[in-house]
Amino acid sequence: MSEVTYEVDNGVAWLTIDRPEARNALSAAVRAALWDGVRRFNADDDAAVLVLTGAGDTAFCAGGDLREMADSAMTTVPVDFLPQFGRNIDVDKPTIAAVNGVAYAGGFLLVMNCDLVVAAEHARFAVTEAKVGRGMPWATPLPLLVPPRIAMQMLLTGDPIDAARAHEVGLVNQVVPLAELRATAQALAERIAANAPLSVRAAKKTVRLVAELPLASAFEQAEELWAPVYRSADAQEGPAAFRDKRAPVWQGR
């Protein structure tokens, strides 16, 4: 995983695309390493939250390696081109994108994958496929993340939006100076990691329900989803810790 690094800091896994000289473009080696990194996070009991970022201060990820794609005459991009959380790989634990620069095309896909987004002030976001004649079926969830007319403009023009605009339309949770990006993402992840893990994972699944189901069915599935959380040992530990004026000790069961 020389072009993608994995490290755990106080329960937070940092998965970093480390190819800054190529604007962290998605070469075959990078894509394979991202798959390995996500699987490693899924299996890592010491990591409660994943933060995905890029090395350097220019690009989070500029998208696919176009030279490599041209050389291979790639046509249809396979569904497993990149790990797409909830589509081709399940990631139950929360994920955060820490966007340190441009996030274009496949890089934008990676941002869309994540549950939360923290962006540096100079970050830019774009679905650039229309400018290079490529496809974007992976952008299907975009109108669930931003208003449909914003999604339409991004997809039809391929023009980037800056971090301030991305925050305004709801794509980004927080915008900070680049120097504060890692600390801000780490602090956010640690606040999540400190919560009851069963509740956190069920909450993540609950958010998806209305996107996938009619409201009545979403309520029914939410009741089923949360029933084992209510019955868990952690559901007793939380009130007990509050009563005893101590920090809860979560067991995840």
Residue 18's CATH number: 3.90.226.10
Any domain includes 134:
yes
CA distance 207 to 115: 10
CA distance 121 to 93: 27
Between these two residues, 15 and 131, which has the higher pLDDT value?
A: 15
Residues with Cβ within 8 Å of 122's Cβ and at least 6 positions away in sequence, in order, are 57, 101, 162, 163, 178
Q: Are residues 76 and 163 in the same domain?
A: yes
Give residue 67's pLDDT.
65
Q: Are residues 201 and 153 in the same domain?
A: no
To the nearest 10 degrees (0 to 180), the angle between helices 215-230 and 197-212 is: 170
Is pLDDT of 99 > 60? yes
Q: Are residues 23 and 75 in the same domain?
A: yes
Is pLDDT of 245 > 60? yes
Any domain includes 84:
yes
Q: Are residues 56 and 147 in the same domain?
A: yes
- Residue 127 burial class via C-beta count within 10 angstroms: exposed 0-12, middle 13-18, buried 19 and up: buried
Q: Are residues 126 and 82 in the same domain?
A: yes
Give the range of the structural domain holding residue 238, as residue numbers without chain letter. Answer: 197-244
Q: Are residues 204 and 178 in the same domain?
A: no
Q: Are residues 188 and 135 in the same domain?
A: yes
Any domain includes 146:
yes
Three-state DSSP class for residue 212: helix
Cβ atoms 102, 160 nearer than 8 A:
yes
Any domain includes 163:
yes
Is pLDDT of 133 > 90? no
Q: Are residues 115 and 181 in the same domain?
A: yes
Check: pTM over 0.85? Answer yes or no: yes
Any domain includes 249:
no
Q: Are residues 211 and 115 in the same domain?
A: no
Q: Are residues 34 and 151 in the same domain?
A: yes
- Rounded mean pLDDT, 168-196: 98
Any domain includes 166:
yes
Q: Are residues 129 and 217 in the same domain?
A: no
Any domain includes 251:
no
Domain count, the chain: 2
Q: Are residues 180 and 226 in the same domain?
A: no
Any domain includes 85:
yes
Cβ atoms within 10 Å, residue 215: 9
How confident is residue 240, by pLDDT bands cut at 50, 70 and 90? very high
Question: Average pLDDT over the chain, rounded to whole?
Answer: 93
CA distance 160 to 38: 27
At 184, list the tokens: 């801000």
Give residue 69's pLDDT.
60
Distances 132 to 30, 135, 156, 224, 225 between C-alpha atoms, Å? 21, 9, 12, 45, 42
Percentage of the chain surpassing pLDDT 70? 95
